[in-house]
Amino acid sequence: MTKVLVIEDKAESRDIFLDSLEAEGFEAIAAENGRIGIQKAQEHLPDLVICDIVMPELDGYGVLTTLRQNPLTATIPFIFLSAKATKAEIRQGMDLGADDYLTKPSTIEELLRAIAARLEKQAALRECYAAQSQQVPPFAETAKLADSESFFPSCPQLSQVFDFIEANYHQPIGLDDVAQAVGYSAAYLTDLARRQTGYPLHRWITRRRMAAACSLLLETNQSVEQIAEAIGYRYTGCFFRQFRISFGTTPQVWRNAQRTQGSTQTQKL
């Protein structure tokens, strides 16, 4: 069942949305303010979020920014539903990465059409990303990619972003650093990378670092601690965990296996 999270501080409006969504066969989840909305988004990972802007504790802009910065929630379609209706306010919401912006008062029919359009587009994007994933090398192939021209996809909209990552991946950079360097908000950059490549930005930073790690493991005798520092990890434990997630084994075991394999092939020759 498709899950829709409704973040709305006014109980009457929230109940109307919930009843209407449930009548259409959706699993509707309610949150009465932005802080709770973020918690429920992270807990339930809904298929779509509907959010008011003016709310206590955390407004809708803060909700969207937070969700777009979290890899688990960055790709969830997000619709603003608000009485803030000036062009500047609508533009602000869209610049932060909203997928749609409905102004109050809106009818239930308008809301349902917007939801259907977003879900349909999301389904189409998933198909597109699935096709792209056949062309994007998995982490197991990352070690073979040593230069940025072959590593990063050809994407004019993100060329500055990839250039910055290539020049600085050995530093402890993150999303905020890249966004500041190219003049985007972090939320907008997250959404742009997702739309253009099918992956959040942090995945490309991680891939570049893992490629460098593999090269250093194979070509040098540096320790795991030295390699972690050389590719931008402040803590060796973080590098160790990411390598294990990426390759299913530890850096030292991977190094030994690759060298053993290389030695065996040399002997055969």
Residues 6+ apart with CB under 8 A from 59: 34, 53
CB-CB contact of 9 with 52 (8 Å)? yes
Tokens representing residue 47 in the block: 């298929």
CB-CB contact of 37 with 51 (8 Å)? yes
Q: Is 97 helix (H, G, I), strand (E, B) or coil?
A: coil
In 52-160 the beta strands, taken as DSSP E runs, fall at: 78-82, 100-103
Residue 108 parent element (H or E):
helix 108-133
Q: Which residues of the chain have pLDDT under 70?
A: 124-150, 262-269
Break the chain into its structural domains and give their ranges: 3-132, 139-268
Residue 140 to residue 165: CA distance in whole angstroms:
20
Amino acid sitting at position 164:
F
Residue 78 to residue 97: CA distance in whole angstroms:
8
Amino acid 131: pLDDT: 47
Residue 206 to residue 34: CA distance in whole angstroms:
30
Residue 57 to residue 142: CA distance in whole angstroms:
43
Residue 97 to residue 77: CA distance in whole angstroms:
9
Residues 6+ apart with CB under 8 A from 11: 32
Residue 73 to residue 62: CA distance in whole angstroms:
14
Amino acid 133: pLDDT: 44
- The CA–CA distances, whole Å, from 54 to 57, 83, 191 equal 10, 9, 22
Q: Put residue 154 in one of left, alpha, beta given phi > 0 → left and psi -120 to 50 → alpha.
A: beta
Residues 6+ apart with CB under 8 A from 89: 53, 82
CATH superfamily, region 139-268: Homeodomain-like (1.10.10.60)
Tokens representing residue 11 in the block: 């109980």
pTM exceeds 0.75, yes or no? no
What class has domain 3-132?
A: alpha beta
* Fold match, 3-132 / 139-268: no
**Dihedrals phi, psi of 225, to nearest 5 degrees:** -65, -45
- The CA–CA distances, whole Å, from 53 to 12, 91, 178, 243 equal 16, 13, 27, 39
